[in-house]
Amino acid sequence: MLKKFPLIISIAFIVLALVLFFEGANQANASESYQQPTVSIPTVTGTPKGPIAIVYSDPEDQINVRSGPGVLYPKVGVLINRQEVPALAKTEGGSWVKIAYPGVLEGVAWVYAPYVRVTGELPVVPKPPTPTPETTPTIDPTLASQFISEIPPTRKPTYTPPPPLVIPTYESAPVTSGTGGLPSGFIILGLVSVGIFGLIVSFLRRS
């Protein structure tokens, strides 16, 4: 049995080799049977881009898109920072850039030139006339008069000066003596002397 084992392995390798050979041949025949193209295949090439307007609105995140070259024209949309759109033209002086903006009237709109960078040359177009507002706000004088109240003029305060300040003055009274133009001290001293003299006389009479 062991002597036949190498023979069995050799036969297995031969069979495996034959299977691989026939499978490769079948694949080669199948690839040759495919239909080959008889016409030239067109090559798709990209069309070159025209002028592009790139939004640079730092530090703002977006800019306004208007229907005309001016802030009086209505806003029709916005462009975000670093967004690219086809640029079509610019106004005289280059302050506004005309861009392709699908979804609006005629598919074009305008952006303020300092907020974008244009790659390429743009034709200059004349600036259209400034639009007039659709409605002019008016005030009804009859209605407004109902909310206006007249304030009567107030009388200005008058200044009345105070009466003059009267400061009373006092005159010093003259020093007058008692009677006869003598000082009162002499009169009192005289009366005391008379009294003492009377007491002495009365005492002497008793003794």
Residue 131 resides in a domain: no
Q: Give the count of domains, the chain.
A: 1
| Domain encompassing residue 113 | 52-125
Report whether 106 contacts 99 (CB < 8 A): no
Arithmetic mean of pLDDT over the chain? 75
Continuous H helices in 33-169: 141-145
Residue 97 resides in a domain: yes
| pLDDT tens per residue across span 29-76 | 555 554 555 545 444 444 447 899 999 988 889 999 999 999 999 999
Residue 203 resides in a domain: no
d(C-alpha 107, C-alpha 112), whole Å: 17
Average pLDDT over every residue of 111-119: 94
Residue 166 resides in a domain: no
Query: Could you tell me which residue, 198 or 21, shows the higher pLDDT?
Result: 198
Who's near 168: CB < 8 A, 6+ residues apart?
Answer: none
| Residue 78, token pair as written in the block | 């916005």
Residue 99: burial class (beta carbons within 10 Å; 0-12, 13-18, 19+): buried
Residue 105 resides in a domain: yes
| pLDDT tens per residue across span 8-39 | 666 766 766 666 666 665 665 555 554 555 54
Instruction: Report the pLDDT value the prediction gives residue 157, as an integer from 0 to 100.
Output: 72
d(C-alpha 67, C-alpha 101), whole Å: 10
Residue 19 resides in a domain: no
Query: Could you tell me which residue, 71 or 196, shows the higher pLDDT?
Result: 71
SS3 category, 187 = helix
Residue 170 resides in a domain: no
Query: Could you tell me which residue, 6 or 204, shows the higher pLDDT?
Result: 204
Residue 77 resides in a domain: yes
From the list 51, 185, 30, 203, the residue with the least C-alpha distance to 118 is 51
Instruction: Report the pLDDT value the prediction gives residue 48, as an integer from 0 to 100.
Output: 47
CATH number of the domain encompassing residue 84 = 2.30.30.40
SS3 category, 100 = strand
